[in-house]
Amino acid sequence: MARSLVIVGAGPAGMSAAIAAQARGARVTVVDEAARPGGQIYRQAHPALIGDDFAEASERARKERLIGAFERVLDRIEYRTETSAFALFKTGELHIASGSRTEALRADAIILTTGVREIAVPFPGWTTPGVMYAGGAQALLKSQSVLAGRSIVVCGTGPLPIVVAAQILRAGGSVAALATLNSLKVAGWQLPALWSGRELVREGLRYLTTVIRARVPRLTSYVPVRVNGREQVESVVLARVDRRGVVIPRTEREVACDVVAVNYGFTANNELAAMAGITMRHDPPRGGWLPVVDEFGRTSVARIFAAGDAAGLRGALVAEAEGQAVGAAAAADPEEITRPDFRAGLAVALAARERLSAFQDAMQQLLLVPSGLWRLPTDETIICRCENVTLAALRDALTAGYLAPNTIKRVTRAGMGWCGGRTCLHAVSALAELHGAPLAEMMTPRPLARPIPLASLANRAPAGRP
Amino acid sequence: MTDQVADVLIVGAGAFGLSAAWHMAKRRDAARIVVLDEGEFASGATGRNGAGFRMQWGLELNIRLCQESIRFFETAAETLDYPRGIELKQDGYLVLAHSESAFERLESAVRTQHRFGVPSKMLDPDECCRIVPSLGRKGLVGGSFCAEDGSASPFLWLDALLRASRREGVDVRYGTRVESVARSGIGFHVRTRVGTITAGKVLLCTDWAVPDLVAPLGIDIPVVPLPKEILVTAPAPQIVKPILVSLEHRIAVNQVGRGSIVFTVSRARDGRSTESMPDFLSFAAPKIVDLVPGLAHLPVLRAWAGVSSVTPDMQPILGETEIEGLYVAVSSYRGFMTSPAVGRIMAAMVLEGDTNDPVASQLNARRFAAGEMIVEPLLNQE
């Protein structure tokens, strides 16, 4: 009998895993929260919208090729859109919700391709309406063709702010400034790595050219330190920081804008993996707490696999190659994987993953967030938005000796709100470390990974196998 | 370790352990009091409970324990010098009956409560639904209500006790598991992973884990773990003013000050796991929707479990064991709500040998050997 396989997520890793597993005869179910495949990076426009996603042609070609391949297997797999996976247990039982109904799925294998989400370093005013994640501003463009504001300041680390600024300009928007923390030069000397990712480098340079041609003020080593405006962003104050991330006095520059789009990198969507009791490791530039996986995506818990950025941030191309290998492994019998010909059959995908990972390793330098930046929030700055926990409240707990994430949560309620800590936990951990918290430690994961109404939980379909 | 000698060593820094430590430090300035806990702050049953307190019981001893404790909660912010407060909420507690027999038990309990000055009253289904409009009518026979009952934050209660105890000189150490307790001369050797402490007297406040430490000494404390599973919703406008408990549904509902609603749903379950079980949400959700249909739309944020304890007659065990100087305080799953009074009682008992407290004198473990069982009418025997 064919092996059953549930894949959580329909981004590059999930789509590619589904295609590979289906080709090997597995009965595949893909669950995804979006209405259309693609995940965050290959997010598709609403079908009613005609037009551009303002991406580079080569990037668009990659996206269309993979989504096209996924769409060609749709008649042979089960694809459940607008479906949230909200709990995973070490028994391998996956709980999902769609509409007003919940269901427990059991399968021979589960692949977690849950991706990453953006993070930000809190600064005074960062909760003012108008401050958003850079990727959030990009998502508005990609899916709705909507500009986030009339005059946008884009800032943060890594390549994303450059891409977002360029796409806003191409969509006819106005970028008031582009402030990046790390100079692109930090990755420049790693020539072999850059060569291996030359397609991405070329795209990056084209985005940069768009920004330069539009004469957007570009500020390197500048970060947002304060937002002015009560009901709505009126301006942002940018300041220069040194290598440790400490603000250099008298470098402040105020830029008028109605939106501040900020990205300080990414953290893995690891809730389901942690909930299932999978052994995790801490790797901040790769996305924080990550499931420990082997080359075929196997975790410490039998039958549960992980692939793509959720197993370590390395971008869409690595995710696609890895999805192919992990999809094949999850579709195979456990002993089949140990045979040499199994690996040989995946040689192309495994080599591609290795080559592209080297490029991503070089790009890690761009994503580093120096510890000095964590001195930007002031006493009144809200760190946990759901429970309105300010830095002063957090500091009171830290000073009283509550340093472990679980105890900080109990005393301050940070992480207990609607988002379940998805927004604030990385900040809480970083601030705790500044206060001398010992080794990084994880907050105990609990169901649910998404808020689900009582009525939906009560409206439970009988347990079944996909 | 800083100090290897203690006048009193308390095992367990939950509500019982910390309350006893604070009361002891207040009673005797010079006493060296050490509290050891194997986990981190609030990681045990206190930090996982549903947070309600009530004086609506059917037995004098439970009524008195809770009356004294609620009076303490009311002024805890001042008494413990904890300006942030413990999120005290006194909007009443509505005990619901969905059968005639449960209703009669409530009526008889309310008569007892009135003898001790509890301002409780009986309500018909209309009155219940007026107080809590989201309540379902199905099968509802009525309830009893007391406006002075309520809830507080177990985390802040423990934090207040911890900070106040440390100010009084109590030495509280987390991450310190006690491996064994052994008699030594007129005191005890308490062996931990990181060294041995010599203590004059020992008080065990580890609830269901007490037998682990006393069984090797030949002492029988009959208590077993009682897992409780809990879920909490996103914050909602104030829609459930009092705490609700349904004797038949075995569900307690507490909308805390921030608006989140905490549901404690009981069922027979073995083990000591603090993980939420895979089938819990689908077990609990239909029962909750049945009890309070008006809350069905609320999103559930989190589910967890806590392991409380239960004794053969479901009443606490407070007292000295057969070994002089070795004391136990076992909650039988009402540790949080009774902890202020139990702390005082145990402090008096351990420091001054006072066993004349009318409540404590009934709760020694000897009652089981004598075949005496205390029956609290408002608890379902499980």
- Of the pLDDT bands very low, low, confident and very high (cuts 50, 70, 90), residue B270 is confident
Residue B59 lies inside a defined structural domain of this protein: no
Cβ atoms A118, A266 nearer than 8 A: yes
Cβ atoms B321, B328 nearer than 8 A: yes
Cβ-based contacts of B235 with chain A (< 8 Å): 417-418
Domain architecture of chain A: domains with CATH = 4-117+267-345 (3.50.50.60), 120-264 (3.50.50.60), 377-434 (no CATH)
pLDDT score, position A55:
86
More confident of the two residues B263 and A50: B263
Residue B144 lies inside a defined structural domain of this protein: yes
Tell me: do B251 and B289 sit in the same domain.
Answer: yes
The residue type at B299: P
Percent of chain B with pLDDT over 90: 81
Checking if the pLDDT of B68 tops 50, the result is: yes
* Beta-bridge mates of residue B308: B226
CA–CA separation, A264 vs A456, rounded Å? 35
**Shortest CA distance from B287: residue in chain A:** A458
User: Residue A285: exposed, middle, or buried by beta-carbon count in 10 A (0-12, 13-18, 19+)?
Assistant: buried
Tell me: do B356 and B235 sit in the same domain.
Answer: no
Which of B309, B330, B347 corresponds to the end of one domain? B309
CB pairs under 8 A between A and B: 94
Residue B129 lies inside a defined structural domain of this protein: yes
Cβ atoms A167, A214 nearer than 8 A: no
Q: Does B42 touch chain A (CB under 8 A)?
A: yes
Task: Report CA torsion sign: A342, A347, A353, A355.
Answer: positive
Tell me: do B317 and B343 sit in the same domain.
Answer: yes
User: Residue A230: exposed, middle, or buried by beta-carbon count in 10 A (0-12, 13-18, 19+)?
Assistant: exposed
The total of structural domains in chain B comes to 2
pLDDT score, position B277:
85
More confident of the two residues A131 and B278: A131
Tell me: do B243 and B345 sit in the same domain.
Answer: no
Domain with B337 in it: what CATH number?
3.50.50.60
* Sites in chain A below the pLDDT cut of 70: 50-52, 185-190, 439-440, 463-466
pLDDT score, position B135:
96
- Looking only at the bridges linking them, the beta strands covering B187-192 and B178-184 are antiparallel
Helix/strand/coil (H/E/C) assignment for every residue in A81-98: CCEEEEEECCCCCEEEEE
* Average pLDDT score over residue span B211-233: 94
Which of A66-80, B94-108, B260-274 is least confident? B260-274
Q: What is the mean pLDDT of chain B?
A: 93
pLDDT score, position A362:
81
SS3 content of chain A, % helix, strand, coil (to 5): 40, 20, 40
pLDDT score, position B381:
44
Residue B69 lies inside a defined structural domain of this protein: no
Cβ-based contacts of B41 with chain A (< 8 Å): 402, 407, 410-411
**Shortest CA distance from A407: residue in chain B:** B41
CA–CA separation, A26 vs A5, rounded Å? 7
Which of B309, B326, B348 corresponds to the end of one domain? B309
- State the DSSP string of B13-78: -SHHHHHHHHHHHHH-TT--EEEE-SSSTT-SSGGGS--EE----SSHHHHHHHHHHHHHHHTHHH
- pTM (predicted TM-score): 0.92
Residue B380 lies inside a defined structural domain of this protein: no
* Beta-bridge mates of residue A365: none
Cβ-based contacts of A446 with chain B (< 8 Å): 276, 302-304
- Of the pLDDT bands very low, low, confident and very high (cuts 50, 70, 90), residue B380 is low
Peptide bond into A394 cis (omega under 30): no
pLDDT score, position A381:
97
Chain A: which residues have CB within 8 Å of chain B? 87, 89, 91, 93, 95, 102, 104, 387, 400, 402, 404, 406-407, 410-411, 413, 416-418, 420, 446-448, 451-455, 457-458, 460
B251: closest CA among A454, A11, A277? A454
pLDDT score, position B382:
36
Please tell me the total number of residues recorded for chain B in this structure. 382
With a CB cutoff of 8 Å and minimum separation 6, the contacts of A461 are A101, A102, A103
Domain with B304 in it: what CATH number?
3.30.9.10
Residue B76 lies inside a defined structural domain of this protein: no
pLDDT score, position A365:
77
More confident of the two residues B300 and A43: B300
**Shortest CA distance from A404: residue in chain B:** B40
Q: Which domain holds residue B268?
A: 90-148+224-309
Tell me: do B135 and B228 sit in the same domain.
Answer: yes
pLDDT score, position A186:
63
Tell me, what's the ipTM? Answer: 0.91
- State the DSSP string of A42-94: TPPPPTT--S-----HHHHHHHHHHHHHHHHTGGGSEEE-SEEEEEE-TTS-E
Residue B337 lies inside a defined structural domain of this protein: yes
